[in-house]
Chains A and B, each alone.
Chain A
């Protein structure tokens, strides 16, 4: 009765009294408990969730109608602040940190009645593409437990794929929503920078970070997007542009929609199975009436290099706040202040965090800033401009989300550069300020999910959601589940 429910099915079930909210929440808590091995959760808020469910049930018993997300059990990436609940960023340095306030995305979901089941495991401070970089252990891919779920929102993607929650909120700085969504066979939406408030997201790369939903269907992604998007006084980078009604457009035909296939995305390094799935998806879009055209984005090849300068530069600055004095871990053994900072950070940060802090500091240091940071910012402008121009020719871009399906745990962990290449198809959206979505687009022979990515111009989530929905409705991939 409860398996793999969508938001609308839950609303229907609660309103028709097919099940109570308490039964529903208990189903998910049992599920989380029986799938502990996946390690998708760092904290479970059982008591609070059951209490909230009881209130929803009382409301239903009184004949009151439910607001849009009321009674929907969800989870939140542990990088996002949740008042009164521990928020660790999957780091030792914040292992016991309790958020003093709610992130705006969390506040908005709570206002709409969503029930938080717990906090999802992720890569430390959202830094990783495999969820192996967590102080709370790796997350396993529900489709194959010897493989990674992707990252950094790996716990979110695994939890959604394994039906441990209805949806999860993740964050995406270079692909951290879309890449794990692809590897776990779920939907992941990265809204345009400025569309969703970053207030209460632990900052990794302030100029690129964006929160968004991981769901099991495109219509759920559109619903959650509508709930969390829009201007916020607490985040001066949120846009004043009105949030358009993407839900109303989902059902519209994509006849005549111009889809571009950027040829630079189909070069070396892509697994043949992924390539085949994307080619088939492109045929499907054609059958649905879209016009497919090959386009060229010559500077795409530089996007990842741009990312690996700008991101660590901002990381080195953003993680400077973790000094062991105001919050988090503070070392016990230092006598003087300088020693205290250096040892606290040595004890609290993972190897990957240290690597990125050092790269960023190097790129910003005297004598190197022009060659690295300013050069990267200029190439970013060139890339952004190139994408802007492409969107005069086409409405959306179709690409694979990742070059290969989920890789083995441990396979790339000790080779940072190879790991970074997992984000090669997703970073451009962040670098160029676009929106993007990953949707299930097939399976490999070994039954590992493959994702396709649709990129849209800034603030045009409506079109990518519509195209994704039309594709979803013409395929069966989103109805396949790991167990």
Chain B
């Protein structure tokens, strides 16, 4: 069972603001899900390595592909806040 402190720590790592009610609810939900997946511990995996990739790497030349000014403007327009064709963010410190 996850406690409220653990939920708060997780929320911080996830960058999620949670209400008190949400913290209670997620503590309960997450605990139920974690106890369901607990059954994976029954499986003997001692013969396996940590790397279990099922797909092959596909490589290509590392090339710079330019973006037109028009496309750039289009992309920056998507930002909630922008100035002089630059994306604007909040200050790191209040």
Contacts and interface: CB of A to CB of B under 8 A. Distances in A.
B92 interface: yes
Interface string B64-87: 000000010011001111000001
A338 B74 CA distance: 27
Interface in A240-260: 240
Given A236-B58, A374-B50, A359 B34 contact: yes
Contacts of B48: 378, 381-382
Interface string B2-22: 000001001101111110001
B10 to A, nearest CB: 5
A326 interface: yes
Contacts of A236: 58, 60
Nearest to B42: A302
B17 A346 contact: yes
B11 A358 contact: yes
A324 B80 contact: yes
Nearest to B51: A377
A316 interface: yes
A384 B54 CA distance: 9
Given A359-B30, A377-B52, A378-B45, A336 B93 contact: yes
Interface string B28-67: 0110111011011101010010101011001010000000
Nearest to A98: B78
A119 interface: no
Interface stretch (A61-69, A124-132, A304-312): A304-312
A362 B33 CA distance: 12
Given A302-B40, A325-B87, A381-B52, A416 B79 contact: no
A337 B26 contact: no
Contacts of B80: 324-325, 327-330
B52 A336 contact: no
A342 interface: yes
A416 B29 contact: yes
Interface residues of A, number: 65
A236 B26 CA distance: 36
A326 B78 contact: yes
A97 interface: yes
A416 B31 CA distance: 11
Contacts, number: 154
Contact of B37 (A308, A334, A346, A351): A308
A374 B18 CA distance: 29
A382 B11 CA distance: 33
A149 interface: no
Given A302-B39, A341-B15, A345-B15, A325 B33 contact: no
A417 B79 contact: no
Contacts of B34: 359, 362
A449 interface: no
B3 to A, nearest CB: 13
A420 B30 CA distance: 13
Contacts of A305: 36-37, 39-40
Given A305-B40, A309-B40, A335 B90 contact: yes
A345 B30 contact: no
A337 to B, nearest CB: 5
A335 B92 CA distance: 9
A472 interface: no
A97 B34 CA distance: 34
A412 interface: no
B36 A100 contact: no
A462 B58 CA distance: 25
Contacts of B30: 355, 358-359, 362
Interface string A347-372: 00101001101110110010000011
Contacts of A334: 90
A189 B87 CA distance: 40
Given A336-B92, A381-B52, A355 B26 contact: yes
A378 B47 CA distance: 9
A150 interface: no
A97 B14 contact: no
B92 A337 contact: yes
Contacts of A349: 16
Contacts of A357: 14, 16
Given A336-B91, A375-B41, A379-B43, A354 B32 contact: no
A365 B13 CA distance: 9
A471 interface: no
B24 to A, nearest CB: 13
Nearest to A352: B29
B43 A326 contact: no
A296 interface: no
Interface of A: 97-98, 100, 193-194, 207, 233, 236-237, 240, 299, 301-302, 305-306, 308-309, 316, 320, 323-330, 334-343, 345-346, 349, 351, 354-355, 357-359, 361-362, 365, 371-372, 374-382, 384, 416-417, 420, 433
15 contacts: A100-B75, A236-B58, A324-B80, A326-B75, A336-B91, A339-B94, A340-B89, A355-B26, A358-B11, A358-B30, A365-B13, A371-B41, A376-B37, A381-B54, A416-B29
Q: Which 4 A-B pairs have the closest CB atoms?
A: A330-B80, A378-B45, A327-B78, A346-B17
